[in-house]
């Protein structure tokens, strides 16, 4: 098991940065770093994502784990790893992406929804499986699907907030992906980074209060 994944099992949170304005991106990453967020995912459908990954790896490489999100195909996987991404995340399963990530000794968390897709992603060689969209599926879905598939580490993504993060982690998610609840776009556009930092710190603390993932 990779050191990156071992660290994710301790940190339990991945901050998803999607469509962040270029002039706010560095202020945002600094706020997240100050809040204690370690795992940050820059989605490749965001303007300037590859440059952000490279820049942040150079600046925060000792403190944070910078990955690429929305990695939909092999070409995107190659670009992301070339830019310095330490792990790849996708909403879908593309086995060529999983295979390439494994060849490059890079963690990969492909997306899946149904039990069949989750097992397929795991058998393809995923480090863990991103179960998405949790905002629509809900906690009960994750609880039910974990029962027969508890051997597969799952990253619950979508709909995770401060008031329910403990539930997602308690029912067996190895980690959670957080979008708007940790990177509120209106606060970002207004440059209210201190508020973002305070909100993120609360989420980091909430994740640490839940028992360690011990699969």
Instruction: Give residue 48's pLDDT.
Output: 96
CATH superfamily of 3-209: Aldolase class I (3.20.20.70)
Instruction: Give residue 128's pLDDT.
Output: 98
In what helix (H) or strand (E) does residue 3 lie, and over which residues does it extend? helix 3-11
How far apart are the C-alpha atoms of 67 and 88, rounded to whole Å? Answer: 6
Instruction: Give residue 137's pLDDT.
Output: 96
* pLDDT tens figures, 98-108: 999 999 999 99
The pTM (predicted TM-score) of the whole model is: 0.96
Instruction: Give residue 198's pLDDT.
Output: 98
How far apart are the C-alpha atoms of 134 and 156, rounded to whole Å? Answer: 6
CA neighbours within 13 Å on the CB side: how many for 35? 30
φ, ψ for residue 100 (rounded to 5)? -65, -45
How far apart are the C-alpha atoms of 56 and 17, rounded to whole Å? Answer: 13
Instruction: Give residue 65's pLDDT.
Output: 98
Question: Exposed, middle or buried: residue 121 (CB in 10 Å: 0-12, 13-18, 19+)?
Answer: buried
* pLDDT tens figures, 7-21: 999 999 999 999 999
Instruction: Give residue 156's pLDDT.
Output: 98
Name residues of the chain where pLDDT drops below 70.
211-215
Instruction: Give residue 144's pLDDT.
Output: 98
Percent of the chain with pLDDT over 70: 98
Instruction: Give residue 214's pLDDT.
Output: 52
Write down the residue that tokens 């308690």 correspond to. Answer: 170
Closest CA to 168 of 135, 201, 119: 135
SS3 99: helix
């Amino acid at each position: 098991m990779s050191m990156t994944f071992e660290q994710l099992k301790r940190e339990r949170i991945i901050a998803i940065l999607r469509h962040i304005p270029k002039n706010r991106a560095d202020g945002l990453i600094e706020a997240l770093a100050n809040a204690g967020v370690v795992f940050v995912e820059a989605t490749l459908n965001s303007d300037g994502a590859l440059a952000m990954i490279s820049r942040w790896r150079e600046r925060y490489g000792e403190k944070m784990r910078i990955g690429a999100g929305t990695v939909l195909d092999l070409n995107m996987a190659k670009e992301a790893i070339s830019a310095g991404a330490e792990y790849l995340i996708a909403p879908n399963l593309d086995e060529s992406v999983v295979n390439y990530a494994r060849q490059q000794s890079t963690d990969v968390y492909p997306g899946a929804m149904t039990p069949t897709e989750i097992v397929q992603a795991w058998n393809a060689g995923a480090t863990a499986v991103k179960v998405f969209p949790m905002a629509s599926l809900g906690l009960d879905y994750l609880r039910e699907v974990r029962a027969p598939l508890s051997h597969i580490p799952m990253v619950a993504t979508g709909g995770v907030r401060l008031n329910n993060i403990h539930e997602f982690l308690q029912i067996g998610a190895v980690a959670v992906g957080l979008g708007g609840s940790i990177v509120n776009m209106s606060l970002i556009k207004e440059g209210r980074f201190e508020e973002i930092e305070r909100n993120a710190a609360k989420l980091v603390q909430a994740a640490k209060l839940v028992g360690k993932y011990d699969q």
